[in-house]
A and B are shown apart, each in its own frame.
Chain A
Amino acid sequence: MTATITPTAEAPPVRPRRRRGAGETAARAARGGLFHITSSVLAVAFLFPLVWALLNSFKSKDEANQQPPTWFPHSLSIANYRSLAGFDQGIGTYLLNSILLSALTVLLSVVVCVLGGYGFARFTFRGKTLLFGTTLGILMVPYATILLPLYIVLGHLGLQNSLIGLALVLVMFQLPFGIYLMRNSFDAVPRELEEAALVDGASTVGALRHVSLRIVMPGVVTVALFSFLTSWNEYLAPLIFLNDGSKYTLPVMLVNIRYASYNIIDFGALQAGVVVAMLPCLVVYLALQRFYVNGLVAGALRG
């Protein structure tokens, strides 16, 4: 985040030095204190639900379902994660499905967006503006409305109830942002670099792979990151397209636990499930933060 966002808007480069009186210094300290108290309270409020789910997931079965809830776990236990292992097909299956779906979506999005972005940036051909415009037009059409006919299209392609079909749909929704971002990234790479490689005998794909792709790598990471977060978290599309319990992804499993046994819901297992579903996103985001922000600035906001 620090890479692009530096708090400068209100920062004057030169401020006339004045001698500060004792009262002024105290007032400044008070303002600083107030700032940190307000900010900390808000930050705690935002982080609390995440930490709370984590803490609760490690409570013993009894403690996790105790009323009123205890603040801190009296003893640490992995019983809640154990019961996830025994839920329907077992958490392993759902985790694997989520990983497969995300990997497929990320891989396909990156390949399609890199090739497409390069094509749009470097070549002129008939229908270029039309195709580019239509791709961006996907943004205009609400996601939920098109799932219905997509269900039928996937049926005709034999891709209903399949993670591949689902990945293709998720890739389609990544295209407007991904293609736009990659086209801009390639536009920023000087053509001369590639032409030099071509003169030296590289093929078009070789020039793309060895020269430009290295320079646009940050854009590629951004596309991968956005695709990962979307596919890992997506709920409605798997709910509609998958009808075989062994293919369900983590978000679908979570909601199923919540509705599985209406009267005796296992709160501990539910929170363990929440932790499994959210932890990868938090880790990946914290590791790749700057790509997220840079991508947003380059792709979403310039448009």
Chain B
Amino acid sequence: MSVTVTHPVTDAAPTRRRPRRSRSSPGRRPLTGLLFVAPTGVIVAGLFLVPLAILVYMSFTDWPLLASPTPDGVDNYRHLAHDDQFLGAIGFTLLYTVITTVVLFAVAFVLVAISNSRRRGTRFYRTAFFLPYVVGTAAASTMWWVDSSDSLGVFNRILEAVGLIHKPVGFLETPGKALFTVITLVVWKFIGFQVLVLLVGVQSIPTELYEAARVDGASTLQRLRYITVPGLKPTLALLTVLSVTGSLLAFDQFFVLTHGGPDNSTVTVVLALYNKAFQSFRLGDAAAEAVVLLVALILLNVIQLRLLRHRENP
């Protein structure tokens, strides 16, 4: 690499050399180092640690958005235990998370098989699968909402054209259909990322392993079972964490596509939290919900990291 880098400061004659600087290597000057990371430190402290502390404090107060807060002990947490919308939201979010994660993996494996092919045109297929991922969730949800309309939507039009249905389906009418429609959106929108990460994982498995297995007469299925799957374990674990975390925090797609309906049947935890804070203006209760969510996710991440580490050094 050094060959390609042209010397940028050749005009600096030795007479202008600054001995103080040249004598010490950059690593030896802690103050300069601190200056470089200062912006990071300021942002992390001011916009991450301070808000985190405020969040915990908020959760122990009665805090109407526009008035001043008053401490109320663990009342907010007590409210949560009897809050039907919050409890319902937890149940619904868990259901959504499980279905989404399973469906995403199932579909992703088909798309990875295609994307990993050596055939011509594979590059085009890969790009097609990935493109929806760069479209924003709000735009994608709006698109899906238009397309799933019973009168003007193209989904009904297609199903009618191929003869699967005879009269339009209300894709957002019942809780079940609404959940189904959101999941189709999520698969379409997010699977490209999953495919890309899996592809990187598959291709990082050494080719020699497959060679050796072939020489030993292993079948395709055996190679999949004994080489591909074990080799992909860290990738699969990472994707599970990302998919579970992402689903537990789902907001945009529900806010735009179903708005929690019909009859509040598709209210996720973050949507409930948003409603509590910015519709009911009860920041204390919302903060308590956020703390519960935060603790749950940190626990989940810690467990997952432990499992990952365990797998790496058995």
Contacts and interface: CB of A to CB of B under 8 A. Distances in A.
Contact of B143 (A9, A49, A135): A49
B159 to A, nearest CB: 11
A32 to B, nearest CB: 6
Given A168-B47, A198-B22, A210-B8, A46 B40 contact: no
B297 A140 contact: yes
Contacts of B235: 301
Given A200-B10, A204-B21, A67 B152 contact: yes
B8 A211 contact: yes
B10 A5 contact: no
Given A36-B121, A191-B25, A233-B137, A118 B36 contact: yes
B305 to A, nearest CB: 10
Nearest to A138: B48
A284 to B, nearest CB: 8
Contacts of A113: 40
A210 B245 contact: no
A125 B34 contact: yes
Contacts of B87: none
Contacts of B31: 125
B125 A43 contact: yes
A196 B139 contact: no
Nearest to A2: B123
A124 B2 contact: no
Contacts of B30: 123-126
A143 interface: yes
B31 to A, nearest CB: 8
A205 B33 CA distance: 11
B136 A278 contact: yes
A289 B238 CA distance: 22
Given A2-B123, A252-B138, A301-B197, 20 more contacts: A8-B203, A8-B207, A9-B203, A10-B118, A13-B207, A35-B114, A42-B110, A42-B128, A43-B124, A46-B128, A50-B132, A53-B143, A122-B27, A131-B41, A142-B297, A148-B273, A149-B55, A202-B12, A250-B139, A255-B142
Contact of B278 (A141, A197, A240): A240
Q: How large is the interface on A (under 10, 10 to 19, 20 to 34, 35 or more residues)?
A: 35 or more
B174 to A, nearest CB: 20
A270 B21 contact: no
A177 interface: no
Interface in A254-291: 254-255, 258, 267, 270-271, 273-274, 277-278, 281-282, 284-286, 289
Contacts of A119: 33-37, 40
B290 interface: yes
Nearest to B53: A149
A125 B32 CA distance: 9
Contacts of A284: 134
A128 B31 CA distance: 12
By secondary structure, the B interface counts as helix
Contacts of A301: 197, 200-201, 235, 238
Interface in B216-273: 235, 238, 245, 248-249, 251-252, 255-256, 270, 273
Contact of B207 (A11, A42, A69, A142): A11
By secondary structure, the A interface counts as helix
Given A116-B37, A235-B252, A153 B137 contact: no
B58 interface: yes
A239 to B, nearest CB: 8
A12 B211 contact: yes
Contacts of A47: 128, 131
B152 A65 contact: yes
A192 B27 CA distance: 12
A30 interface: no
Contact of B5 (A112, A214, A252): A214
A6 interface: yes
B119 A36 contact: yes
B286 interface: yes
Contact of B9 (A116, A152, A210, A289): A210
B301 A277 contact: no
Interface in A201-221: 201-204, 206-207, 210-211, 214-215
Contacts of B119: 32, 35-36
Given A111-B39, A282-B131, A148 B142 contact: no
A296 B8 CA distance: 31
Contacts of A255: 138, 142, 255-256
Nearest to B25: A195
Contact of B210 (A9, A137, A281): A9
